[in-house]
Amino acid sequence: MRHTRMISLAAMVASSGLVLTACGSAGGGPASGGDSKLSDDKVVLGLLNDQSGVYKDLSGPNSKVAIEMAIADYKAKYGDDAVAKNIEIVMADHQNKPDIANTKAQEMYDRDKADIILDVPTSSAALAVATQAKAKKKLHINVGAATTALTGKSCNKYTFHWAYDTYMLANGTGTVLVGEGGKNWSIVYPDYAFGQDMTKSFTAAVEKGGGTVQQSIATPFPNDNFATFITKAESSKPDVIGIMAAGGDLVNFVKQYNQAGLQGKTTLAVGLMFITDIHTLGVEQFAGTTFTDAWYWNMDAESKAWADKFKEKTNTRPSFAHAGNYSAALQYLEAIQEAGTDGSDDVVAKLEGKKVNDVFLRNGEIRAGDHRVLHDAYLVKVKDKANVKEEWDYEEIIKTIPAAEAFNPTVSADCKM
């Protein structure tokens, strides 16, 4: 009898998890008020991201520091002439769950009077916030999420996609690596929306460059043991093995890949990887791995100088997401300055089509048609441990991909503003 009880218990426990995620709330309240140039006499920047989970290090609480740096730079630049004198930051943890992101976004826009929500990693969460932005007619500048749906069928007047997307990752790593001689690919991907999208994008990118994807191998998600998947991926003797997993699955894959003696033998291209992954797992595990980054702290003197300031405050080096949030907050405040108000429509009008250069955006342009921000991207290779000179000195830029080529050159037909 005990075993049947246990099974039903396990089922009960599993389903209780589902129930817990089913609560949301419908916040209400006035959207704006007053005759001042600023709603509520202040500008409220909402930072909504992962404060406790997998993207905590990538962005998390340190993005608040980056936004504070943007506010300080804005105030220093305009002084008494600043339109936004009273600037506040509100921050919340969305735990990478779309339902929580949805509730928190409503709270931020309605209760906290946020004029903009920044960051929002995890695609499903980002799409939920974009929907709220559209409904509340308040801004959302997305930095942390990868989905091209933000500038495709879910695009809207108030949502901007600032740092990167799956097209950029696939194009950068796929097309460019083929150009470097990596013609034949095996792709291993977790079988859920993210992995499937990445595989589709990568396959298109590899074929565009003239290469061939010999096999695409789907794996369960999450998954701990990749031994036989690796054997299979290797069996077609590819030049490049592409892995589209993220988080713990990526770590499992890379460890087992190295253990299979493949490190350095076959090029390993990672679909989505962040510098924080390299840092936590150790550069030796990822040495030789290739991926596309939106920004790297040590790529030039300007970035390095900003990274030094960031390190003074946080004792760590910034990821692209930290720099991206800095840039997004700064350009938002600049747009308020130009518009003379924080009214959403006026700010959007100033942002659309704007050409931008800052520490994060190089040759940047905010495309009016879909609010995709175009900028230079970077194909990087993880350094060998011997070449690492300091902590976080992990990336070697093998190619700068110009802004015009880094992102999808055409606005998606699905995007109706």
Residue 22 — φ and ψ, nearest 5°?
-90, 5
6 is an interface residue for another protein by CB under 8 A: yes
Number of residues counted as binding another protein (CB under 8 A):
49
168-207 footprint of another protein as x/- string (CB under 8 A): -----------------------x----------------
Binding mask 203-242 for another protein (x = CB under 8 A): --------------xxxx-xxxxxxxx-xx--x-------
* Alpha-carbon distances, residue 330 vs 83, 139, 333 (angstroms): 13, 14, 5
CB-side exposure of 164: number of CA atoms within 13 Å?
31
Strands of 14-62 (E only): list them. 43-49
- Measured CA to CA, the distance from residue 405 to residue 208 in angstroms comes to 13
Query: Of the listed pieces 133-141, 157-165, 243-251, 329-337, which binds another protein according to CB under 8 A?
Result: 243-251
Shortest distance, position 383 Cβ to another protein, whole Å: 16
Nearby residues of 118 by Cβ (< 8 Å), 6 or more positions away: 45, 46, 47, 48, 63, 67, 140, 141, 143, 325, 328, 329
In whole angstroms, the minimum distance from the beta carbon of 153 to another protein comes to 26
Q: How far is the CB of 7 from another protein (least distance, A)?
A: 7
**Residue selected from 27, 32, 40, 56 as contacting another protein according to rule CB under 8 A:** 56
Note whether 316 binds another protein by CB under 8 A: no
Q: Per CB under 8 A, does 260 bind another protein?
A: yes
- The piece of 151-159, 175-183, 251-259, 385-393 that touches another protein (CB under 8 A) is 251-259
Per CB under 8 A, the list member of 24, 210, 248, 340 interacting with another protein is 248
Shortest CB 186 distance to another protein, Å: 13
Nearer of residues 13 and 413 to another protein, judged by Cβ: 13
Q: Contact at 8 Å (CB) between 108 and 101?
A: no
Strands 159-161 and 139-142: parallel
* Part in contact with another protein (CB under 8 A); list of ranges 78-86, 100-108, 281-289, 399-407: 281-289
Return the range that interacts with another protein (CB under 8 A); candidates 82-90, 279-287, 304-312, 365-373. 279-287
Local structure of residue 83 (DSSP, 8 states): S
- Find the shortest distance in angstroms from Cβ 58 to another protein: 9
- The DSSP call for residue 119 is E
Question: What's the per-residue H, E or C state across 287-315?
Answer: CCCEEEECCCCCCCHHHHHHHHHHHHHHC
Closest CA to 125 of 67, 53, 198: 53
Our CB check for another protein shows the closer of 277 and 365 to be: 277
Query: Which residue number, 64 or 161, has a Cβ lying nearer to another protein?
Result: 64
CA angle 310-316-321, nearest 5°? 65
Alpha-carbon gap, residue 368 to 355, rounded angstroms = 11
Distance in angstroms (rounded) separating the CA atoms of residues 353 and 122: 26
Please list, in sequence order, all residues whose beta carbon lies within 8 angstroms of the beta carbon of residue 413, skipping any fewer than 6 positions away: none
Rank residues 268 and 347 by Cβ distance to another protein and give the closer one: 268
Least separation in angstroms between residue 328's CB and another protein is 24
Q: Does 31 bind another protein (CB under 8 A)?
A: no
Cα–Cα distance for residue pair 15/97, rounded to 1 Å? 17
Residue selected from 93, 119, 165, 249 as contacting another protein according to rule CB under 8 A: 249
Rounded to 10 deg, the angle between the 247-259 and 227-234 helix axes is 60
Q: Segment contacting another protein (CB under 8 A): 28-36, 66-74, 102-110, 253-261?
A: 253-261
284 binds another protein (CB under 8 A): yes
| Neighbour order of strands in the sheet with 377-382 | 212-219, 184-190, 240-243, 267-270, 290-293, 377-382, 395-401
Q: Under the rule (CB under 8 A), what is the footprint of another protein?
A: 1-7, 9-10, 13, 52-54, 56-57, 191, 217-220, 222-229, 231-232, 235, 247-249, 251-252, 255-256, 258-261, 276-277, 280-282, 284-285
